């Protein structure tokens, strides 16, 4: 498996001056102390145009890894963020300035309209967004992806033309910040691998009804699990952990 991301020309959103520049000057070198990031499959991330990047989530540090990897691949990393954060002074300005996407609230008609507006905005601005389908750190005892939520595919299927959902798996971040653990400063430059796959085939899903969204989400989670299995060198479990049936964390604490 190749350990080096192929060199490619950066997109206009990266080369154009923005607030990402000073952030990258701080975050990229700082992350380099903790992790030696190896990227494979970077050709699946489009250089231009809108997309949704769907990763696994098993450490509070893996968003930093995804942000740096996305930047290295030539795109500006944007995440879904809680809508309430956009109302916090200074932080809200920063989220809006960097084009972060507010998470829609409960599944109401208002939320559906908000999701449609978000999709149209991504298409109009030719931007991508990173959406964690699980919604929180996985509760699976072996850190496999658990059952996903429908936000990523709802965003993808709400667009006039469905947005590509690109699955991505990371592994090794648990050696830097274990799930529910403390940050490890030593040794530096621990190996972290990032593997992107081709866009999930969502051609069979043509609406946003609950059944369709659930089936499409399962397809996304399956592809993420396959990628993670390749990184770990083992087969992923046949069934994903269902938080609705297992309400406690491995540590015994209730998840937020």
pLDDT in tens, 184-204: 999 999 999 999 999 999 999
Phi, psi of 115 (to 5 degrees): -60, -40
| Percent of the chain whose predicted confidence (pLDDT) is above 90 | 61
d(CA 179, CA 57): 10
At residue 166, does pLDDT exceed 90? yes
Between 12 and 225, the more confident residue is: 225
Whether omega for the bond prior to residue 13 falls within 30 degrees of 0, making it cis, is no
Average pLDDT over every residue of 138-163: 92
At residue 104, does pLDDT exceed 70? no
Average pLDDT over every residue of 115-143: 90
Cα–Cα distances in angstroms (integers) from residue 41 to residues 50, 68, 102, 148, 169, in the given order: 18, 15, 28, 23, 11
At residue 158, does pLDDT exceed 50? yes
The pLDDT assigned to 232 comes to: 98
Between 53 and 206, the more confident residue is: 53
Radius of gyration of the chain (CA): 18
DSSP E strand boundaries for 56-114: 80-81, 101-102
DSSP E strand boundaries for the chain: 35-40, 51-55, 80-81, 101-102, 128-130, 165-171, 190-196
| Percent of the chain whose predicted confidence (pLDDT) is above 70 | 89
The pLDDT assigned to 26 comes to: 93
DSSP state of 251: T
Strand partners, 195: 40, 169
Q: What is the mean pLDDT of the chain?
A: 87
DSSP state of 254: B
> What 3-state class would DSSP assign to 172?
coil
Q: Count of residues for the chain? A: 256
The pLDDT assigned to 121 comes to: 85
Between 119 and 246, the more confident residue is: 119
2 pLDDT band, cuts 50/70/90, is very low
250 pLDDT band, cuts 50/70/90, is very low
DSSP state of 191: E
The pTM of the full predicted model, rounded to 2 decimals, is 0.88
d(CA 211, CA 95): 32
Average pLDDT over every residue of 36-58: 96
Average pLDDT over every residue of 32-53: 95
At residue 41, does pLDDT exceed 60? yes
Between 255 and 217, the more confident residue is: 217
Average pLDDT over every residue of 7-14: 74
At residue 137, does pLDDT exceed 60? yes
Strand partners, 101: 80
């Amino acid at each position: 498996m190749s350990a080096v991301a192929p060199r490619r020309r950066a997109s206009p959103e990266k080369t154009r001056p923005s607030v990402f520049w000073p952030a990258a000057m701080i975050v990229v070198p700082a992350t380099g102390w903790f992790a030696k990031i190896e990227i494979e499959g970077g050709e699946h991330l489009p250089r231009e145009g809108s997309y949704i990047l769907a990763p696994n989530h098993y450490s509070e540090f893996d968003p930093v890894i995804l942000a740096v990897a996305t930047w290295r691949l030539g795109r500006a990393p944007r995440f879904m963020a809680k809508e309430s954060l956009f109302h916090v002074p200074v932080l809200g300005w920063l989220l809006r300035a960097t084009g972060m996407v507010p998470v829609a609230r409960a599944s109401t008609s208002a939320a559906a309209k908000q999701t449609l507006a978000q999709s149209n905005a991504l298409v109009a601005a030719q931007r991508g967004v990173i959406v964690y389908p699980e919604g929180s750190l996985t509760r699976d005892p072996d850190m496999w992806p658990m059952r996903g939520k429908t936000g990523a595919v709802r965003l993808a299927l709400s667009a006039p033309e469905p947005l590509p959902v690109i699955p991505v798996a990371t592994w090794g971040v648990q050696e830097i910040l274990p799930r529910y653990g403390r940050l490890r400063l030593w040794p530096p430059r621990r190996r972290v691998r990032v593997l992107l796959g081709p866009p999930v085939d969502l051609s069979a899903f043509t609406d946003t009804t609950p059944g369709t969204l659930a089936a499409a989400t399962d397809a996304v989670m399956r592809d993420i699990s396959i990628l993670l299995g390749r990184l770990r060198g083992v087969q992923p479990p046949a069934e994903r952990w269902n938080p609705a049936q297992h309400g406690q964390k491995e540590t015994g604490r209730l998840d937020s």
